[in-house]
Amino acid sequence: MRVADVMDTDVPSVPATTTVSELSERISNGDSVISHRQATLIMSADNKLAGIITRGDLFRALQEDRKGKRSVLEAGQANLEVAFPDETLDEAIGKMLKMNIGRLPVVSRDDNREVVGYLGRADILEARLRRHEDEELRERPLQGNRLVASLKRAVKQTGSQGATE
């Protein structure tokens, strides 16, 4: 399974000039793209990946400055680990585990600042669940066929034993 198969293309993002208080307000107002994610990508003026701000970063920034006047770029992180659409899901999970992070911006291999998606733990878990369900559905007929074959053998054995008694 590849990152492109699992990533969300509806990317939670804000301009780098957004203040911490503005982002906080969007989250508290239930912004449909941003509020259900634990991190938001920060985009430069030319719409390229500039950083990421997590809920934890946001919380710390608001503790330091209750008015939230700092920009999300100042409060967030600019040194990012990224994933690529053609990367295997296992490779991306490995990066997440190694860096102890729960999400990755997905970027183009041609330009590692061009965002093409967002990969979070929930996306990965949903994909794994779908895969598990698909495997279970594929196995059901096999299990049913094995059961029928076992029953036929049992009937045949019982029938042959009954004929000799």
Taking only the tens place, the pLDDT of each residue in 56-80 is 999 999 999 999 999 999 999 999 9
So what's the pLDDT on residue 63? 95
* 39: nearest Cα among 13, 7, 67: 13
So what's the pLDDT on residue 164? 41
**Across residues 137-164, what is the average pLDDT?**
60
* Structure confidence at residue 162 as a pLDDT band (50, 70, 90): very low
**Across residues 147-164, what is the average pLDDT?**
58
In the predicted structure, residue 114 carries a pLDDT above the cut 80: yes
**Across residues 34-52, what is the average pLDDT?**
95
Lowest mean pLDDT segment, chosen from 31-35, 109-113, 154-158: 154-158
Q: Is the model more confident about 153 or about 77?
A: 77
So what's the pLDDT on residue 133? 75
Q: Taking all residues of the chain, what is their mean pLDDT, rounded to a whole number?
A: 88
So what's the pLDDT on residue 165? 39
* Structure confidence at residue 130 as a pLDDT band (50, 70, 90): confident
Q: Write out the two tokens for 131.
A: 């895969």
Predicted TM-score (pTM) of the model is 0.79
So what's the pLDDT on residue 152? 66
Instruction: Tell me the C-alpha distance between 165 and 160, whole Å.
Output: 9
- Whether domain 3-125 has CATH 3.40.50.12780: no
